Every structure is written in C-alpha cells, then in structure tokens.
Structure 1
C-alpha cells in the first residue's frame, strides 16, 4: 500500500506541470515514481536533469547498471520499469534475468560491468582490486568508471524513493529471480 499519494498534474506546481507535459509527450505517460518526485518543487526537474545528463554509460550498458542496482536494492518498481526498458533495448528475457543476478555471460564487457556494479552496490563502493582490474581489462575506462558511479547514484535515488513511498508500480511486474 502506498505511503503517500501519487500527485496528478493538477496537484503540482506550474513548473512540474510543464515537466509532466514533457514526460507525457516523450514517454506517453508520467510514471508514478516520477510524479511522486513532483511533491517537491525541484526534485523532479533535478532528477530528470541527472538522468538525461551526458554520460559515457548509455544504451545497454546503462540498463545493466539500472537492473543490477535495482536488484541489489530490491526495488520492485525499478525492476519492473527497467525489465521492460531492457527488453525494448534488445535484451532477451533470459539476459535480463542474468543481468539482474550480476552477470552477463553473453557479453564479456557487459559482464565485467555487471560484476563491478553488483560489488559496488553490495559493498557500498568498497570493491576489491580484482573486480576493478577486470572492469578495466574488459575495455572500460576511468571516464566510464566515474559515469557508472553517477548512474548508480541516479538509480539509487529512485530505488530509495520507492522503498520509502511504496507508490503503485505502473509497469508489468518483473519476474522473480530463481533462488
């Protein structure tokens, strides 16, 4: 059950109404978690700026980060959204599940990324040298490392927002991982 309401367009400031309109045009809807950010005058705009900022971590790599972080943090909302986005971006159902487990055996570079992100989130950034060395050996750069950390922060924001608010998930539920 939701701990706070999901605001509608009529409930939010004119600034946030404009952001709702842009989301509606671009995404076709205002996801409940984004709408919840609009309880703050500034949070939705700040979050969208962070999410849309230029990064060396894009496309499938970004979805690897989003899926792994959301799995480690147990965010059913973000897992649902990013399972759908990951499949739209070209991952198969099996690949999405494997990524969520912290591996991507079908692509060595994405596998190193998934392992790094799982360790980073699980260990609060205190990863071992071997994991970082494997990341770099797979072809990732220092720029990529910094951008991965920023992307982890981005996803952690929405994971925590959902954990705190429990707003309804408005995407198809992500399947459970096998034990």
Structure 2
C-alpha cells in the first residue's frame, strides 16, 4: 500500500518555510502543491528555490523545453501540467509543447538539438552518443550551455521524483495526453 501524502498547510511547516510560502503566494497568487510539499523539510524549499532561480545562460523558453522533456522522460504528471502552462507563458504553443514532449522538434533547429540532448542525457544518465553532443554544439550551444542544461535537468529531476513519490494533487491544468 502506498503511503499517502497530504499537502501540508502553512501551519504544518517551519516558521522559515511559512515566510517562503507567503512570498510564493504573493508572487504567484497561490502556493503550488509540490512547493508546499517540499516544505516538509525545514531546509529543502529554500535550497530548491535558490537552485531554481540561479543565473543561467539559458533563456526561459529553453529552460521550459528542458523541463518538458525531463518531465516526460520521468512521466511526472504534475510537472508536465505546470511546464505546459509555463511553456506557453514563455512563447511556446500547445502544439509545440507536445512536439517537445515527443522528443523530435521540427519547428526550431536549435531547440530541436536541445530536446535531443536533454532526452538523451535524461534517459541515459549522462552517457550519450557523441553525435547528439556534436549536434548540440553545432546548433550554437557552448560548453557552458551544456553545464547549465545539466543543472536544469537536475532541478527538474528533483521535482519529478518528489511528485512521483508523493502523488500530491496536480493544481495546474492537465497537460494534453500524447
């Protein structure tokens, strides 16, 4: 039998996390269930938000592409829903989010190389074919970009795994089925 996880209320988390949840609510108008769930740990929410908001060479759109690919590989219903919405807020159409999730992008060569790299890294734990890496570099990405992609993948794996373990309710519109 699977352990049931509730989404903790503000009163059920530490005083430090209450401040962070209040800030999230002020900025987003809500506290996403998965962020509230991270607040079970007295330190993880702050640490995660620091990682997530760190400087990067990647655009918001590129980060959403990575988030969609990793969430699809990890079959995370929560993150697919959240990042379909965020992807659309950052310039992707719904049809493009589906194409990205399928792993073969025709609408943009550079994003296509990013999708292929992200999918290969995620599925093979970083051990990828040289052709995929070379395509990524030929598309205009740098060694620094590669490092930023890996950090973004790691960020998304944290949330994918947390949701897949807890199965807290998804509080974003569901992502279209593939």
| Structure-2-length-normalised TM-score | 0.97
Query: Which piece of structure 1 moves more, 70-79 or 20-29?
Result: 20-29
Q: Give the equivalent residue in structure 2 for 1:58.
A: 59
SS at match of 2:57: coil
Is 1:161 matched up with 2:162?
yes
SS in 2 for 1:104: coil
CA drift of 1:2 comes to: 7.5
Q: CA deviation at 1:128?
A: 0.4
**Partner Cα separation in structure 2 for residue 166 and residue 3 of structure 1:** 8
Q: Is the 1:32–1:167 contact (alpha carbons within 8 Å) kept by the matching residues of 2?
A: yes
In 2: Cα distance, 1:102 partner to 1:150 partner: 20
Q: Which structure 2 segments of 5+ residues have no match? A: none
- 4+ long deviations beyond 2 Å: none
Cα 1:54–1:64 change in 2 (3 A) is same
CA RMSD, Structure 1 to Structure 2 (Å): 1.1
C-alpha contact (below 8 Å) 1:80/1:171 kept by paired residues:
yes
- 8 Å CA contact 1:2–1:168 kept in 2: the answer is no
The answer to whether the 8 Å contact 1:2/1:166 transfers is no
Please give the alpha-carbon distance, in whole angstroms, between the structure 1 residues aligned to 2:30 and 2:97: 24
Render the CA deviation track for 1:120-168: whole Å, top value 9, x for unaligned.
1011111000000000000000000000000000000000000100000
